[in-house]
Amino acid sequence: MYYDDLNLIPGVGIGRIKFGMKFDEVKKILKEDGIVYSTGIDSNKGCTPQKEWETIYVKDYMTFCFVENVLWQINAEKEYKGMLENGICIGDSIQNAEKVDPDLQYDDWNENFVSAKGYWLFDTVESGNKIYRMTINLLECMDDDIFYSYEWLKKYQ
């Protein structure tokens, strides 16, 4: 499919789509690549400070997340057949991922696995403990306190 031959690179992005890019820049690339997408807004009601997150959805494939027009997160979903730089991919078992990346830690609060290398992995018992989503971020956004301060945005505006 679209970007299956490209690796997700934590702190960088995927292919021509790089963290720090603007919403319209990413839409332009997707359009040039013939990718059908939709957009949306998450109000983030209850977050402090409350800032809307804009999203670009490629159904069952990838979601691009923006705050104040800055790309900060990419979620690879079930139809993405590519991988992280270390070879971990959708459908791998968490046990295999832990062998590849011994730094993976389970986060009870968010109910996912977090790597110090800049990515999150999601699995469920229903999926047979197989990875169903991989998330990469701007590296400074891996820490909730830093992320929600939104000070990091100044670097990209």
Query: What's the CA gap between 39 and 145, in Å, rounded?
Result: 27
Query: What's the CA gap between 25 and 10, in Å, rounded?
Result: 19
Q: How many secondary structure helices (H) and strands (E) does the chain include?
A: 3, 10
Confidence of residue 114 (pLDDT cuts 50, 70, 90): very high
For the chain, the average pLDDT equals 91
| pLDDT, tens only, 27-66 | 999 999 999 999 999 877 666 677 888 999 999 899 999 9
Q: Is the dihedral of CA 90, 92, 97, 100 positive or negative?
A: negative
DSSP 8-40: BBTTTEETTEETT-BHHHHHHHHHHTT---EEE
| pLDDT, tens only, 117-143 | 999 999 877 777 899 999 999 988 888
- Those residues with Cβ within 8 angstroms of residue 81's Cβ, 6 or more apart along the chain or in another chain: 1, 4, 89, 90
Query: What's the CA gap between 107 and 144, in Å, rounded?
Result: 12
What are the residue boundaries of the structural domains of the chain, listed by start? Answer: 13-87+135-156
Q: pLDDT exceeding 90 applies to what percent of the chain?
A: 67
Task: Identify whether the C-beta of residue 143 lies closer than 8 Å to the C-beta of residue 151.
Answer: no
Q: Please provide residue 30's backbone torsions phi and psi, each rounded to the nearest 5 degrees.
A: -60, -40
Of 36-50, 68-82, 85-99, 110-124, which range is least confident?
A: 36-50
